[in-house]
Amino acid sequence: CPRAATRQVFPRRPTVAMASFVPSSVPAVLRPSVPAALSLVPTHPALPRHATTSLNTRYSPLADPACPTAVAFPSAPTPSPTSGPSLLLFRADLRLADHPALTAALEYSSPARLTLVYVFDTRTFGAASDRESYAMALFTLQAVTELRNEIRARGGDLMVRVGRTEQVVADLCSRLRVRRVYASSAGANDTRVDSALRERMETEGVEILSPEDDAISSVRKSQRIPEDAFAYKRDPSRYVEFLTPVDEPERLGALPSHLEAGDMPSMKDLGYTEVNGVPFSVAGGAKEGWAAIRAGSKRHAKCSCSYSLYLVTGCLSKRELYTKVDELPLNAATVRSELLWGEYWRLKSCTSARSIASRPLSIAS
């Protein structure tokens, strides 16, 4: 038979699951939460702007995208000339301090032209009625309530909606004539929401940028992350530069006059009925997170149980925790070790996914 022809095909989008690079021994809270198909480059305000991955653009190879060099970023974002209105979709980043997507949005738009929104997606909330789901929904509701209060204290407001994320965002983009949306990833458990949002924004012709929210470092120029994780943990500064947390903005803009902020939903509105014996009784929100850490007992000083839930929901920043750990009643060595362990696998995931995505596949036809 004739010899099969071989052609070189480049994949349209990397589809390597970041979690597949992480050992099962790593705590879930410290696993990379950003799906590889959404954001593969460690992005932060301190990194070059080209390191921000757009959710609706194809893979764009850089000279060495996994190894950008961190630089000192000012304590407060310096606005650049306004380029147009934009929308910031809060997701698993329920805070104002050290918020990469918010910082990037304020560089693109003035506070008056930036609209802030949070959507209680019906595919996530109300989809299950067990005790754990009820407790997590209540925690998130409290965190969003605190976030709205903090935004209002700075002269702005947070629009709150219940529905499908892509439909709400598309409607707002149409009404406000927004062509750029900033949104951190919703996490590995909400990849279907990410996919639906990306596809809808592509249809609407809206650019959606997803700065990575949980990076605490960037690889030094001319350095590579070693294969031995323990070598990295013994001397991480040899391989990476740690990112400096960014201060929260002092002022935010009000919503357009023709839009209503919306009422905060109740648990019943989200599809939950009263559940007895909620698994945990901690309150959600950034302030509550720092208060819980500072009030932590000696029993919690050597584990992540006093702050892990706040990291998962983005109430606290990993960069800020890493920077302030010496000032907190925590075992600094243990906390740094846990954060560095998760950071190592995040960086290795980025590097491995880039390598696979840029490698041509030989497919017989």
The first and second tokens of residue 81, run together, are 């000339």
Confidence of residue 294 (pLDDT cuts 50, 70, 90): confident
Confidence of residue 358 (pLDDT cuts 50, 70, 90): very low
> Whole-model pTM?
0.74
Rounded CA-CA distance 187/206 in Å is 21
CB-CB contact of 17 with 164 (8 Å): no
Rounded CA-CA distance 279/144 in Å is 20
Other beta carbons within 10 Å of 136: 21
Find, among 54, 264, 86, 247, the residue nearest to 158 by Cα.
Answer: 264
**What is the number of alpha carbons within 13 Å of residue 36 lying toward its C-beta?**
23
| Per-residue pLDDT tens over the stretch 105-154 | 999 999 999 999 999 999 989 877 778 888 889 999 999 999 999 999 99
Mean pLDDT of the chain: 76
Residue 302 Cα to chain centre, angstroms: 26
Query: Per-residue pLDDT for 32 more than 50?
Result: no
Confidence of residue 310 (pLDDT cuts 50, 70, 90): very high
Rounded CA-CA distance 322/314 in Å is 14
Query: Per-residue pLDDT for 19 more than 90?
Result: no
User: What DSSP element (H or E) covers 162?
Assistant: strand 158-163
Query: Per-residue pLDDT for 68 more than 80?
Result: no
SS3 category, 158? strand
Query: Per-residue pLDDT for 26 more than 60?
Result: no
Query: Per-residue pLDDT for 76 more than 50?
Result: no
